[in-house]
Amino acid sequence: MSYSQTRKRIKVPFNDLYIHYLSIKDEVDQAIASVISSSAFVRGPFVKKFEKDFAQLFGSKNCISCANGTDALYIAMKSLGLQAGDEVITTAHSWISTSETITQAGGRVVFADTENEFFTIDANQIEPKITDKTKGIIPVHLYGQAADMGAIISIARKYGLWVIEDCAQAHLATYKGKLVGTFGDAATFSFYPGKNLGAMGDAGAIITNDDKIASWMRLYANHGGKGNHEFEGINSRLDGLQAAILSTKLSHLSAWTIKRQEVAAKYNQLLQNIDDISLPVVRYDTSHVYHLYVILTEHRDNLRDYLKDRGIETAINYPYALPYCQAYNYLQHLPQHFPNAHANQSRILSLPIFPEITEEQILYVANSIKAYFYECKL
Ligand SMILES: *Cc1c(COP(=O)(O)O)cnc(C)c1O
């Protein structure tokens, strides 16, 4: 039987947040009801509980919740005393939050290319970018894979730089047996609904073992404190509803992570012998939590159209590497400045992955990809 002649066409969404909700509906409904009945809508006991649980998970001394993962980066950078003209080095391949917050916080964005075999910042590209203005490094554990934290931390120590880990896609990922988020001076998380730990709206948090910056961040995210405001801050607070939902979901996170890893293992097995695609490579001694399962192929756009016709949703994360987005035209970057990030932007394709995806759907996605390469490709 040919791969494309599967008897039945099925729909495969990129993610399905409603099915995700249904899998724990009673718990979530009950959590929402208790917030409503106690009117603890902004900050309050549910937020405190979530902060405590989340900090504990990482063995971190502090968790500061905030409105979203972008604010988490901005607040963390402000707490480290970024000044106008300070430079921060980050990866050429991420969601724009990672770099836009450097500018928001008053700094200057300096990009470094990604590693050849992974999608994370190449530590070897960081050192040549360091100047006397450099203050920090923001590695991103992109797609759920740990960046090369050993090398990054040693560069940071050598030059006296801070490190903020952007963990928005990497809840529970590990590097040499340690959770990502526990290596830098601070780590930021997003709980955007589609993230591995997602709220039902926007939400974010920062963890840090540094009590001094932690108390500054707490004040800053809430108008510089109450009454006699110590300084001007911002309003970036977590809702009680989101916190209660997150606490409920936190207890399922490791089971969901294992599911994602199982889905990835199935894709790996089913897609292993197709010459025209490269599968995700996992860094030695790390665990990947597969926020996204991203393949590389020169036939990306045609494959994507073909899968769409067969009812399969895919995504491109992200169609432009950051230095090549319009927002950074002013930096005048050329393809050869970031060859890996530049080459990957036209080759990456994210396949559907979520804890509730069925065996049938995984098989259908894999067979459709095989059908494209073995039977349709021109
Ligand atoms: C989602 C994401 C963010 C921002 O999080 P929001 O909660 O959407 O503001 C930051 N960095 C990365 C890598 C992300 O994927």
Q: Residue 192: what are its φ and ψ, rounded to 5°?
A: -50, 145
Query: β-strands 134-138, 162-166: how paired?
Result: parallel
The CA distance from 216 to 233, in Å, is 10
The CA distance from 92 to 270, in Å, is 31
| Distance from residue 175's CA to the centre of ligand 1 (Å) | 20
Q: Is the CB of 361 under 6 A from ligand 1?
A: no
Residues, the chain: 378
Q: Is the CB of 202 under 6 A from ligand 1?
A: yes
Query: With bands split at pLDDT 50, 70 and 90, how would you rate the model's confidence at 5?
Result: low
Q: Is the pLDDT of residue 48 over 90?
A: yes
Residues facing 162 on adjacent strands:
136
Q: What is the mean pLDDT of residues 305-332?
A: 98
Q: Is the pLDDT of residue 63 over 90?
A: yes
Coil/strand/helix, residue 59: coil
Q: Residue 108: what are its φ and ψ, rounded to 5°?
A: -115, 135
Q: Is the pLDDT of residue 378 over 60?
A: no
Task: From the CA of 94, give the closest atom in ligand 1.
Answer: 13
What's residue 230's pLDDT?
Answer: 95
Q: Is the pLDDT of residue 136 over 80?
A: yes
Of 32, 39, 33, 44, which Cα lies nearest the Cα of 237? 44
Of 38, 11, 12, which Cα lies nearest the Cα of 244? 38
Of 89, 140, 96, which Cα lies nearest the Cα of 118? 140
| Distance from residue 168's CA to the centre of ligand 1 (Å) | 5
Q: Is the pLDDT of residue 377 over 90?
A: no
Q: Tell me which amino acid residue 185 is.
A: D
Please say whether the dihedral angle defined by the alpha carbons of residues 112, 115, 120 and 126, taken in this order, is positive or negative. Answer: negative
What is the residue with the minimal CA distance to atom 6 of ligand 1? Answer: 69
The CA distance from 71 to 224, in Å, is 15
What's residue 7's pLDDT?
Answer: 58
The CA distance from 218 to 206, in Å, is 10
Q: Is the CB of 169 under 6 A from ligand 1?
A: yes
Per-residue pLDDT reduced to its tens digit, 108-123:
999 999 999 999 999 9
Q: Is the CB of 90 under 6 A from ligand 1?
A: no
Q: Is the pLDDT of residue 37 over 90?
A: yes
Q: Is the pLDDT of residue 96 over 70?
A: yes
Coil/strand/helix, residue 4: helix
50, 238 Cβ separation under 8 angstroms:
yes
Coil/strand/helix, residue 191: coil
Q: Is the CB of 101 under 6 A from ligand 1?
A: no
| Distance from residue 255's CA to the centre of ligand 1 (Å) | 22
What's residue 15's pLDDT?
Answer: 97
Mean pLDDT for the chain?
96
Q: What is the mean pLDDT of residues 245-255?
A: 98
What's residue 43's pLDDT?
Answer: 86
The CA distance from 73 to 97, in Å, is 8
Per-residue pLDDT reduced to its tens digit, 291-313:
999 999 999 999 999 999 999 99
Q: Is the CB of 204 under 6 A from ligand 1?
A: yes
Per-residue pLDDT reduced to its tens digit, 328-347:
999 999 999 999 999 999 99
Of 206, 210, 212, which Cα lies nearest the Cα of 237? 206
Q: Is the CB of 77 under 6 A from ligand 1?
A: no
How are strands ordered across the β-sheet holding 186-190? 62-66, 204-208, 186-190, 162-166, 134-138, 87-91, 108-112
Q: Is the pLDDT of residue 179 over 70?
A: yes
Q: What is the mean pLDDT of residues 356-374?
A: 96
What's residue 52's pLDDT?
Answer: 98
Coil/strand/helix, residue 139: coil
Lowest mean pLDDT among 88-97, 150-159, 209-218, 222-231: 222-231
Query: With bands split at pLDDT 50, 70 and 90, how would you rate the model's confidence at 8?
Result: confident
93, 115 Cβ separation under 8 angstroms:
no
What's residue 376's pLDDT?
Answer: 76
Share of the chain above pLDDT 90, in %: 95
**Which residues touch 312 (CB under 8 Å, ≥6 apart)?**
11, 12, 352, 364, 365, 368
What's residue 1's pLDDT?
Answer: 53
What's residue 9's pLDDT?
Answer: 87
| Distance from residue 13's CA to the centre of ligand 1 (Å) | 21
| Distance from residue 70's CA to the centre of ligand 1 (Å) | 6
The structure tokens listed for 146 are 């740990």
What's residue 283's pLDDT?
Answer: 97
What's residue 124's pLDDT?
Answer: 97
